[in-house]
Structure 1
Amino acid sequence: MPDAAERLAALAQDLLGAPLPVRIRAWDRSESGPPGAPTLVVSRRAVRRALWKPGELGLARAWVAGDLDIEGDLYEALESMVGLLWERGESTARPSRITAAREAARALRDPRTRAALRRFAGLGGLGLPPAPPREEVRRRRGPLHTLRRDRQAISHHYDVGNDFYELVLGPSMVYSCAYWDGPHGTLEDAQRAKLDLVCRKLALRPGRRLLDVGCGWGSMVLHAATGYGVRATGITLSEEQAAYARKRVADAGLTDRVEIRVQDYRETADGPYDAISSIGMAEHVGAARYAEYAAVLHALLAPGGRLLNHQIARRPAPREEAYHVDEFIDRYVFPDGELAPVGRTVAQLEDAGFEVRDVESIREHYGLTLRRWVANLERHWDEAVRLTSPGRARVWRLYMAASALSFERNRIGVNQVLAVRTPRSGESGLPLRTRDWRA
């Protein structure tokens, strides 16, 4: 009788319509697949999780719990497996890699497939479902993006320990796409260049008021206050971020010019500001609230004031296919996070009264940034596990590596949108040539 790895590989080929591009090592220590390829390590519990929750969520739980692992090059393994789903999806009537994943999930629900898995995994009956890893967010109820629910979602992602984020992000403590001169620069220099780019686009100078929405650990307000002489206010929903940012402000001797608040953008009413930066925050706003978000920021700006909205964008979905929420991201990384196409973002900013003056795609820069974060995490793996948990470290490693590939392969993008609250006179305050392009 064939061993477990061989039978798993055969079943995967039946489900996906092509051989798996990785090796499989099963619970009986048998292996199957192309020599030298990354190895997918599968336990019996991983099979049980896949049977109880066919599709993304069962696999996510197996990964976080350590029931499913990858040995070898993580990027190579992810790219080859996602690429297989992508190609398989493009061969269907509705071209989407999501379609392929859903087809595989449906196949796992087939009684014959489930019986075969149980039989050769030696499971007998399924028994009780394995408990979800403790890092998982329980399914939420009620309306999306209320003040209370948003605070809970932000806390899940950001209140996991400032020491952990120091390991991953490095000294800059900036948790958004850096701006690179080339692939061999330092992460700190690239993050400093990004903050400086934002300051220049906003035309910051001494005496102006800046609001940083989703200020994180305070890097943007500190850079703007020290380098451009502004009076800055940073708002965040994370108590841990706020405490860290306030200490940085105090250590820099800037408490007279920089304020950090635990506050939602919907609770901010002390305008007018001359400039607003929103860097990597709008992904948390959600489609149901985006018009309100744009209107609030427009109202907080003085006439002639500028908004720099730095936001991840998804590719538009075919009309017949609804937007698909990634269950791994929703349950383990960014609860209630939503991505929108950049065209929709621009349209909603314009609907709120903004004049959109510049859109700069920096997609390739995020791939470089994420790979540096993954390298930081892997370099300090034991310490990261000690500061959080094995499951949390596994979540961050997988989501950052998979995200790097998504940016590099143009599956998602990131854009800086510069918008102005142009006064009735029509004087935008922008120069005739807003920027110089570099190859």
Structure 2
Amino acid sequence: MADAAGRLATLAEEMLGAPLPIRIRAWDHSETGPPGAPTLVLRRRRALRRLLWKPGELGLARAWVSGDLAIEGDLYDALDRLAGHLWERDPNPGPAARRRSRPAAALQALRDPRRRAAVRALIVLAGPGLPPPPPREEVRAVRRGPLHTPRRDKEAISHHYDVGNDFYELVLGPSMVYSCAYWDRPDTTLEDAQRDKLDLVCRKLALKPGQRLLDVGCGWGSMVLHAAREYGVSAVGITLSEEQASYARKRIADAGLTGQVEIRVQDYREVLDGPYDAISSIGMAEHVGAARYAEYTGILHRLLKPGGRLLNHQIARRPEPDEAAYRVDEFIDRYVFPDGELAPVGQTVSQLEEAGFEVRDVEAIREHYALTLRRWVARLEASWREAVRLTSPGRARVWLLYMAACALSFERNRIGVNQILAVRTPGDGASGLLLRTRDWRG
């Protein structure tokens, strides 16, 4: 099997119609590709079997998570090159054109004799046998029944969040905020940028002492702690993660705020003790799903008192030419956020309005999330051995790939993130906002 890298590069070019943009090092230590480019390392032949068995993102993810495949050099550069090469847009013009997997499209176009010959040669190069089972970090259980029932949502949340609070401390830092920070300058510390984001949310909600705040998807309690300590509100935080709730309660007790802040393990559909003066939902609505989004907005509208404000902080995808054809990213669904779904920001605004909200402001902050993710990646890489010890080598690789790829997606405008301020405006229209300018910036 001499020069496996050269043979692989030649066959890949025949299948994909273009040379690979990165170097390749194969299991026989042969290497080829553009000088100075990052190197895709196939440590074992079974990496190729994984790629052939599931061409596209899922095969690449399985090879990466299992350690059969690695990248040497600049990870961001490698992912950027691969994203531009392994995915092609449909011929429909415009930024919303759907992406198609080049490997999957190539395998489907086997009427071309040259491609058929390349596939047969790749199968021989990959060696005999089927690929091994998916890595244990992948969601393996068969998910049946309707999406986004309370039980299924709880299982999905547990898969992502109940992997150890120590691991999340390592990645997120002392703030324990798992959402986009808000940066005045790129050299601001992550801790300061997360504090500024929480304070921005509090100012947009116009929180005042004595008010009741509901934080939907409260995570490790950072928002309710900040709002109670700095703005004097009485706060309730809800999460479906037992580990998050336990951690948040300890933080609240240590801060002496037990009588002011309550943490519940509770689904948003089970909250019955409204009305609240304000509601924050920061990085939670991505878990709601299209089938339940009208229910979600309706419940939040009912839980707010007339004149109350909602701050919905949510990742958005770009619109699809055919929205019915939208599919959740396979890697994200199998390894990161099971059953998570993204929606275009216009669709989210429309659904808030249909629930009875008056949308008063939309602030797009996607560049802020790219910078946040790069800081999380740097923290993970700096403490890699400890991250592996706290979880598993596969779990640490999942996080590294997921965060680095998402940083690039935000930078390249493939996805965005928006803070939507909405009001349950009274029937007489007297919201009391007087929002002539964004005076919450301070």
TM, length-normalised to structure 2: 0.94
- One of 318, 323, 327 as aligned partner of 2:326: 323
Matches within 5 A, 1:154-169: 154-169=157-172
Contact 2:315 2:418 in 1 (8 A): yes
Deviation at 1:437, TM superposition (A): 9.9
Contact 1:245 1:260 in 2 (8 A): yes
The C-alpha deviation readout for 1:63-118, integer Å capped at 9, x for no partner, is: 100011100100000011112245x4266789433353541453699764442113
Contact 2:313 2:417 in 1 (8 A): yes
Distance change in 2, residues 1:364/1:338 (3 Å)? same
- Name the CA distance, whole Å, in 2 between partners of 1:101 and 1:351: 41
The C-alpha deviation readout for 1:360-396, integer Å capped at 9, x for no partner, is: 0001000000000000000000000000000000000
- Name the CA distance, whole Å, in 1 between partners of 2:137 and 2:435: 51
- Name the CA distance, whole Å, in 2 between partners of 1:134 and 1:81: 25
Matches within 5 A, 1:59-78: 59-78=60-79
- Whether 1:370 aligns to 2:373 is yes
SS in 2 for 1:64: helix
Contact 1:212 1:278 in 2 (8 A): yes
SS in 2 for 1:212: strand
Structure 1 segments (4+ residues) deviating >4 Å: 90-95, 107-111
Matches within 5 A, 1:191-202: 191-202=194-205
Contact 2:55 2:104 in 1 (8 A): no
- Name the CA distance, whole Å, in 2 between partners of 1:181 and 1:117: 50
Deviation at 1:407, TM superposition (A): 0.2
Deviation at 1:236, TM superposition (A): 0.1
Aligned equivalent of 2:29 = 29
Aligned equivalent of 2:102 = 100
- Name the CA distance, whole Å, in 2 between partners of 1:289 and 1:11: 45
- Name the CA distance, whole Å, in 2 between partners of 1:283 and 1:14: 39
SS in 2 for 1:195: helix
Aligned equivalent of 1:115 = 120
- Whether 1:211 aligns to 2:214 is yes
Aligned equivalent of 2:135 = 133
Distance change in 2, residues 1:320/1:224 (3 Å)? closer
- One of 225, 228, 236 as aligned partner of 2:228: 225
Identical columns (%): 78
Read off the aligned partner of 2:40 and give its amino acid letter. Answer: L
Corresponding residue pairs, total: 434
- Name the CA distance, whole Å, in 1 between partners of 2:102 and 2:31: 25
- Name the CA distance, whole Å, in 2 between partners of 1:343 and 1:245: 33
- One of 350, 355, 361 as aligned partner of 1:347: 350
Distance change in 2, residues 1:331/1:300 (3 Å)? same
Contact 1:89 1:100 in 2 (8 A): no
Deviation at 1:431, TM superposition (A): 1.9
TM, length-normalised to structure 1: 0.95
- One of 337, 340, 347 as aligned partner of 2:340: 337
- One of 378, 393, 396 as aligned partner of 2:396: 393
**Aligned-pair Cα RMSD in Å:** 1.9
Matches within 5 A, 1:268-283: 268-283=271-286
Aligned equivalent of 2:386 = 383
The C-alpha deviation readout for 1:325-353, integer Å capped at 9, x for no partner, is: 21110000000000000000000000000
Deviation at 1:53, TM superposition (A): 2.2
SS in 1 for 2:83: helix
- Name the CA distance, whole Å, in 1 between partners of 2:262 and 2:315: 27
Distance change in 2, residues 1:321/1:255 (3 Å)? closer
- Whether 1:181 aligns to 2:184 is yes
- One of 336, 350, 360 as aligned partner of 2:363: 360
Aligned equivalent of 2:310 = 307
Stretches of structure 2 lacking an aligned partner (at least 5 in a row) = none
Contact 2:203 2:440 in 1 (8 A): no
- Name the CA distance, whole Å, in 2 between partners of 1:137 and 1:99: 22
